[in-house]
Amino acid sequence: MDRRQFIASTAALVAAPLALTAPARAVTGSQTIVELAAATPDLSTLVTAVQAAGLVDTLSAPGNFTVFAPTNRAFAHLPHGVLDSLLADTDALTNVLTYHVSGDYYPAEALVGQHGVIPTVQGGHIRVNGRNGVHLNGNISVTTADVFASNGVVHIIDGVLLPH
């Protein structure tokens, strides 16, 4: 391998987003993710969507989930008609909601200062930039981090993540 190939290979590795490592977890919350969201008035639209998609049992089950939870305002900022369309199409709604969930546990300490990707239950990846706050897919910010549940952690976000 000549010098140019070595430099190009090294640059490609450095530029590629790395999967973030999920740390070990100790259960710290007494409510499940669904119970916690239901008790948070600013997440009522999310709760309605989770119920409509039939994901209540899944997000109430034991596990180490990470949920990026859009606020009511985040849902309200979707283009006109998008939320209603999602609520009417269970498959599309499930696709969007499961894109907000990782089966791995990522507290804020695993995100802050990091740059990489988090795998989602939907099968895609969320790009994370943990410099100057935590930003997802370039333009959505974590506004409240580390709301701990018995089955994972919730990070409240200011936008709705849409799968690519």
Domains of the chain, by residue range, sit at: 27-157
Q: Is residue 120 within 8 Å of 100, Cβ to Cβ?
A: yes
pLDDT digits (tens, 9 = 90+) for 133-153: 999 999 999 999 999 999 999
Instruction: Report the C-alpha gap between 33 and 103 in whole angstroms.
Output: 13
Residue 19 has pLDDT above 90, yes or no: no
Which tokens is 159 given? 């936008």
Residue 3 has pLDDT above 70, yes or no: no
27-157: which CATH topology? Answer: FAS1 domain (2.30.180)
In this prediction, residues 49-54 reach a mean pLDDT of 98
Determine the pLDDT at residue 13.
39
| Single pTM value for the model | 0.85
Q: Which residues pair with 19 in a beta bridge?
A: 117
Residues with Cβ within 8 Å of residue 150, at least 6 apart in sequence: 27, 29, 30, 31, 32, 62
